[in-house]
Structure 1
Amino acid sequence: MSTTRAIVTLPPPARPGDVVELRVLVSHPMETGYRRDADGRMLPRDLIRRFRCRCDGETVIEAELHAAVAANPYLAFWLQVGEGQGRLEFEWEGDNGFAHRETRTLSRR
């Protein structure tokens, strides 16, 4: 587990069958490896390579990220609320052993 900061925005309470928007942002420099520092040295590549969200253990979205993605990647996506508990797992994996995980639970009405 890392000390990385992530922001996960969940929808208001929802019923099974509702379609809701989830938004996630993770703090990360997303360095491409093509830039130079003030002394002219190449900055090493440091990218988040993969994002995955599971709901009740089932993958609902998986994304492969590339060098063109900005620092502090923000993703928004839609999810149809199922009958399960609504336990969400968000995972980011990247270069240099980067890994971060957050868990949340959807509120029900």
Structure 2
Amino acid sequence: MARVLIHVPPNPKRGEVVEIRVTLAHPMESGFRPDADGRVLPRDIVTQFSARFDGEPVFAATLYPAIAANPYLAFHWRAERSGTLQLRWEGDNGFVQVESVAVRVA
């Protein structure tokens, strides 16, 4: 499992638009860079990110090899009710990371 940092503003007000920020610790190897022996390192990138609130999609992104290591994403979301925000990263070599955050709307 990779290390994940998630920032959701605490107790947003109903109807408030908040910024959600996420960072995933991942090397994002492009598959073009050689190692010390001159062999090309195999590609290993995160290719998809999605966010769902209580099962409903609220944001999605497709990532490409040009994304830096430890990809950072930010998106805006309108907090209408309390629930669970599920964040999912998918990538090469069967990589899947899923994290959930409880959101309590004031």
Class of the TM-score when normalised by the shorter of the 2 chains:
over 0.9
Task: For structure 1, list consecutive stretches of 5 or more residues without a partner in the other structure.
Answer: none
Q: Which residue, 41, 44, 53 being the options, matches 1:43?
A: 41
Whole-Å separation in 2 of the counterparts to 1:42 and 1:97: 20
- Residue by residue, what CA displacement relative to the aligned partner does 1:8-32 show, whole Å, maximum 9, x if unpaired? 0111211221100100000100000
Write out the 4+ residue segments of structure 1 that deviate beyond 2 Å after TM superposition.
Answer: none
Whole-Å separation in 2 of the counterparts to 1:79 and 1:35: 37
Q: Which amino acid aligns with 1:103?
A: S
Give 2:87's aligned residue: 90
How many corresponding residue pairs?
A: 106
Correspondence 1:54 to 2:57: no
Give 1:23's aligned residue: 21
Q: Which amino acid aligns with 2:79?
A: V
Q: Which residue, 53, 73, 76 being the options, matches 1:75?
A: 73
What secondary structure does 1:50 align onto?
strand
What secondary structure does 1:62 align onto?
strand
State the superposition RMSD in angstroms. 0.9
Give 2:96's aligned residue: 99
Whole-Å separation in 2 of the counterparts to 1:86 and 1:75: 21
Identity between Structure 1 and Structure 2 (%): 48
What secondary structure does 1:96 align onto?
helix
Question: Offset at 1:86?
Answer: 2.5
The answer to which structure has the higher strand fraction is: 2
Whole-Å separation in 2 of the counterparts to 1:39 and 1:49: 27
Question: Offset at 1:107?
Answer: 2.6
Question: Offset at 1:65?
Answer: 0.1
